[in-house]
């Protein structure tokens, strides 16, 4: 089946009692036992499981091609659960072009608990090889990278990780399974901030993991999910499942506009550089053709000038909203270095754009006017 059909089938669960075509939201935190103290179904208590969460978890596992899905209260809660499954003395290898919250968790929370980590440019395969140690448990990839849209060769990095006895995790938030399925490229775990494209309307916070195999590590993370309780509400699970139904059409529309916006900005006299996987000038274009179905709807631009010039440019926009985050139906733009704070390595003249569902011509004329 094609992605769109699969997404609809995976999220379509008519209620067997009432016939309701759209599944109800099960707010109950607890589930009743019969006179023999038996439960009628697999649910006991909502921290451990809930029908709406289970539906979302199974849909995500289907769409990413994995064996087990797990939903969390945020992308960060999902990341947290994976690191919590490691032990003091374990080592994590992480890309330099990664969502800033991932190294922040390692540095501020897990380093004091005995995890070590190294950051490496994942495009430099010799450096990846040299940074893998006996105690490396996780190689953490994010592709396209954040905020420079660099591309990691998932097949090769996974091979190197496996040879060293580590697993590969891929943060697939920006790509979504519409663009690429990392588990098909030999990654072991996919991470999502469902806050972004999956829910798609900037109105819920959530995260998810999909595991290629159901093994001891997967079950350890499952136990952490239920014991530590960083789980999403039934309503948020329902919203994420609803988002999945339109993920394919939203992505395709947003990508077509992103391509037009990237082509307009590329070569504009006020722009120094455009980072977008759909441009032939992208340094990893050959790998993009191999690894990704589509280039996505995220792009970054470096304006000619400094932070003040970048901020002045976006102050003149009317259609783009100046806000962090991504993946919603409204176009957002942000000065990434300001959001990441004083220790950021993000270039000061860089702006990150999340392209929404407005008409391409309106977005382009907004940008053209603001650039002057």
Q: Which residues bind ligand PLP (CB under 6 A)?
A: 74-76, 99, 101, 142, 146, 171, 173-174, 193, 195-196, 205, 207
- Whether 196 is catalytic is yes
d(CA 205, CA 260): 29
- For the chain, percent helix, then strand, then coil, each to nearest 5? 40, 15, 45
Minimum CB distance to ligand PLP smaller for 52 or for 195 = 195
- Whether 9 is catalytic is no
- To ligand PLP, the closest distance from the beta carbon of 332 in angstroms equals 12
H or E element, residue 136: strand 136-142
d(CA 86, CA 74): 20
- Whether 181 is catalytic is no
d(CA 13, CA 52): 10
Minimum CB distance to ligand PLP smaller for 66 or for 144 = 144
Minimum CB distance to ligand PLP smaller for 174 or for 264 = 174
State whether residue 277 is helix, strand or coil: coil
Q: Considering 43, 53, 90, 99, which one is annotated as catalytic?
A: 99
Looking at beta carbons, which residue is closest to ligand PLP? 75
**Strand 167-171 to 271-275 pairing:** unpaired
Q: What is the dihedral of CA 343, 347, 348, 349, to 10 degrees?
A: -170
Q: Considering 47, 220, 242, 245, which one is annotated as catalytic?
A: 47
Q: Where are the alpha helices (DSSP H) in 132-280?
A: 154-163, 176-179, 216-228, 234-245, 247-265
Q: Considering 97, 171, 284, 366, which one is annotated as catalytic?
A: 171
Minimum CB distance to ligand PLP smaller for 46 or for 195 = 195
- To ligand PLP, the closest distance from the beta carbon of 325 in angstroms equals 7
d(CA 288, CA 277): 7
Minimum CB distance to ligand PLP smaller for 13 or for 193 = 193
- To ligand PLP, the closest distance from the beta carbon of 292 in angstroms equals 15
- Whether 214 is catalytic is no
- To ligand PLP, the closest distance from the beta carbon of 198 in angstroms equals 10
- To ligand PLP, the closest distance from the beta carbon of 50 in angstroms equals 19
Which residues are the active-site residues?
47, 99, 171, 196
């Amino acid at each position: 089946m094609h992605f769109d059909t699969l997404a609809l089938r995976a999220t379509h669960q008519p209620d067997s009692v009432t016939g309701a075509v759209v599944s109800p939201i099960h707010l109950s935190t607890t589930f009743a036992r019969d006179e023999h103290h038996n439960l009628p179904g697999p649910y006991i208590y909502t921290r451990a499981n809930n029908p709406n969460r289970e539906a979302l978890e199974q849909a995500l596992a289907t769409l990413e091609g994995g064996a087990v899905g797990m939903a969390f209260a945020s992308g960060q809660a999902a990341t947290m659960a994976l690191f919590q499954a490691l032990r003091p003395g374990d080592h994590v290898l992480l890309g330099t072009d990664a969502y800033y919250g991932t190294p922040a968790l390692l540095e501020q929370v897990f380093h004091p608990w005995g995890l070590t980590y190294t950051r490496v440019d994942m495009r430099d395969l010799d450096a990846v090889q040299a940074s893998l140690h006996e105690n490396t448990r996780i190689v953490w990839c994010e592709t396209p990278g954040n905020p420079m849209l660099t591309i990691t060769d998932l097949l090769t990095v996974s091979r190197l990780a496996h040879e060293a006895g580590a697993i590969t995790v891929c943060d697939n938030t920006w790509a979504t399974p519409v663009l690429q399925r990392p588990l098909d490229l030999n990654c072991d775990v996919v991470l999502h901030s469902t806050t972004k494209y999956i829910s798609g309307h900037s109105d819920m916070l959530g995260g998810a993991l999909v595991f290629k195999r159901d093994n001891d590590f997967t079950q350890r993370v499952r136990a952490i999910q239920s014991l530590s309780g960083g789980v999403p509400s039934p309503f948020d699970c329902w919203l994420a499942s609803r988002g999945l139904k339109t993920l394919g059409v939203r992505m395709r529309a947003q990508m077509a506009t992103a391509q037009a916006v990237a082509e307009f900005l590329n070569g504009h006299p006020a722009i120094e550089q455009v980072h977008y996987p759909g441009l032939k000038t992208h340094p990893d274009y050959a790998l993009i053709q191999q690894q990704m179905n589509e280039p996505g709807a995220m792009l970054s631009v470096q304006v000619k000038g400094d932070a003040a010039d970048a901020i002045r440019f976006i102050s003149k926009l009317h259609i783009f909203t100046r806000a962090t985050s991504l993946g919603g139906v409204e176009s957002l733009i942000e000065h990434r270095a300001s959001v990441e704070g004083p220790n950021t390595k993000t270039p000061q003249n860089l702006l990150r754009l999340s392209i929404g569902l407005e008409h391409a011509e309106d977005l382009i004329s907004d940008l053209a006017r603001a650039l002057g």
